[in-house]
Structure 1
Amino acid sequence: MAAAPGTVLLSGIVGSTAYGFAHAGSDLDRLGLFATPTEELHGLHRPVESHVTTAPDVTLHEAAKWCRLALSCNPTASELVWLPEDLYETVTPLGRELVGIRSAFLSGPAVRKAYLGYADQQFRKLLSRDTTDPASRRRAAKHARHLVRLVEQAVRLHETGRNLIRLPDPERVRELGEHIADRPDSAGALLADAAERLARPGVLPDAPDPRPAEAWLRRVRAAHYRPPQSRLSEPSH
């Protein structure tokens, strides 16, 4: 794990390796969250809220920023608390607590907006790709795989309240992605079906419950507060 501007509370391997898409030579993507020393939050300037490197590929979000992303059901950030146990690399007690309250971040409208929004972005990339460029075809297959993954995760969240990160049938998703990469228009039906299923009643609430996140974040701040050393007595006048 790359150096963080604070204490890493939870981190793990995400992306293609987590989904089951990885192949020989695939990069490892890591995601985590860290706690800024609480006293650094008291000054004039806010400390950094995200720390990103590309060699290695690591993204770390400050605890408060991660909570805001998760409350909006950001697909990339949210998967950190739904990883299979063997993919975690750092799990502190506060990190374990966060995994325990993961369902409180979910809401039906946010899942629909975030997941279908990301899937639609992949769809637009497919429609606008350069069909004469072989490298573009490889990127298209990747966009198509993630489109399929996003809509299936969205439907599963909506209908079960659980986010399955490690796909049970990654080869089926890979094959469907190859088909969509060659025929991008075929993804339209997949998106329409997902939207229709997400419009039905599901198990998720209409809004997340921010209270567990707020209480957890306050525990984080208390645990990472280091009082400054006592000042030397000022000279008497």
Structure 2
Amino acid sequence: MRTLLMGVVGSTAYGLATAESDEDLLGVYLADTREVLGLDGATVTSGSRVTTQPDVTMHELGKYCSLALKCNPTVTELLWLPEYRVETEAGRRLRALRGSFLSTEYVRSAYGGYALQQAKRLLGRHEAGKEGFSADTAKRTAKHGRHCLRLLLQAQQLLRTGELTLDVSAHRDDLFATGRLAAEHPEAFAARFEQEKATLDALDSVLPDHPDRAAVDGLVVALRVAALQG
């Protein structure tokens, strides 16, 4: 497995880590080109490798790019980290192309849609009569609540500027307060969420309507050919 790019993501990258937070690593690897060209090529290029202790998720280049072209928030953030544990020349080429993965449609649907899905799940938990949370459940609910808001704030920035700042520690107090609302006052959380979602929906976007799939495809082919020739 040739690691192209790997860095610390999640709460640590967001500036929202607590004493209980784990360190999460995310990366991209390049499968052997001969395996890609073989009968199992489709399986090889759609693969991921996940380990724990430490928590590491690695996506093969093909799978990573497919997810990133849809602006999947979890994988997109890898291209915008300020520093990396592993960064090869191929990884730098991938990062240099990060703007080509972005599009108005997918930022709205991926970031906004995922945040909306999670918010509905949190509110549904209350509506189902689970207000009497255990301390552990309340912590998880608060975490999910603040990450719902974080996604909306980051989506707003992407649409406004075409750039993504992962560190949202400047909003830390507000995000943690919103998380507490999710656990303790679901109606207030819903009102705050709907306000930010409406802001996102109303924003004009500087992003293109569609990602530059051809540019991404060209890089994937170039990296695979270089690996085969090397």
Q: Which of structure 1's runs of 4+ aligned residues deviate more than 6 A?
A: none
Instruction: Determine what percentage of the aligned residue pairs are the same residue.
Output: 42
* Aligned residue in 2 for 1:38: 33
Structure 1 unaligned regions, length at least 5: 1-5, 228-237
- Aligned to 2:16, what secondary structure does the other structure show? coil
Structure 2 contact 181–189 (Cα < 8 Å) conserved: no
Alignment pair present for 1:154 and 2:149:
no
Greater percentage in helix: 2
Question: Aligned-pair RMSD on alpha carbons?
Answer: 1.7
| Map 1:195-214 → 2, pairs under 5 A | 195-197=197-199, 198-214=201-217
Q: CA deviation at 1:200?
A: 3.4
| Letter matched to residue 32 of structure 1 | G
Matched residues, number: 220
Q: Which has the larger radius of gyration?
A: 1
CA distance in 1, matches of 2:8, 2:78: 8
| Letter matched to residue 215 of structure 2 | P
Q: In the alignment, which of 99, 103, 110 is matched to residue 95 of structure 2?
A: 99
CA distance in 1, matches of 2:136, 2:19: 18
* Aligned residue in 2 for 1:66: 64
CA distance in 2, matches of 1:101, 1:131: 46
Alignment pair present for 1:131 and 2:127:
no
Q: Cα deviations across residues 175-208 of structure 1 (Å, max 9, x unaligned)?
A: 2221232122333334433443333321111111
| Letter matched to residue 150 of structure 2 | R
CA distance in 1, matches of 2:179, 2:217: 39
| Letter matched to residue 72 of structure 2 | N
Q: Cα deviations across residues 70-107 of structure 1 (Å, max 9, x unaligned)?
A: 1100000000001122xx10000010111111011101
CA distance in 2, matches of 1:119, 1:89: 28
- Aligned to 1:204, what secondary structure does the other structure show? coil
**1:17/1:63 CA distance change after superposition, 3 Å:** same
**1:23/1:54 CA distance change after superposition, 3 Å:** same
Q: CA deviation at 1:30?
A: 0.4
Q: CA deviation at 1:112?
A: 0.6
CA distance in 1, matches of 2:173, 2:189: 17
* Aligned residue in 2 for 1:233: none
| Letter matched to residue 101 of structure 1 | L
Q: CA deviation at 1:27?
A: 0.7
Q: Cα deviations across residues 20-73 of structure 1 (Å, max 9, x unaligned)?
A: 111224210000000001000122223261111222211110001111111100
Structure 1 contact 123–184 (Cα < 8 Å) conserved: no
Structure 1 contact 51–61 (Cα < 8 Å) conserved: yes
CA distance in 2, matches of 1:139, 1:24: 14
Structure 2 contact 159–203 (Cα < 8 Å) conserved: no
Structure 2 unaligned regions, length at least 5: none
CA distance in 1, matches of 2:227, 2:185: 52
* Aligned residue in 2 for 1:230: none
CA distance in 2, matches of 1:190, 1:61: 34
Q: In the alignment, which of 178, 184, 187 is matched to residue 185 of structure 1?
A: 187
* Aligned residue in 2 for 1:140: 141
Q: In the alignment, which of 56, 61, 82 is matched to residue 84 of structure 1?
A: 82
* Aligned residue in 1 for 2:13: 18
TM-score normalised according to structure 1 size: 0.87
Larger mean CA deviation between 44-53 and 192-201 belongs to 192-201
TM-score normalised according to structure 2 size: 0.89
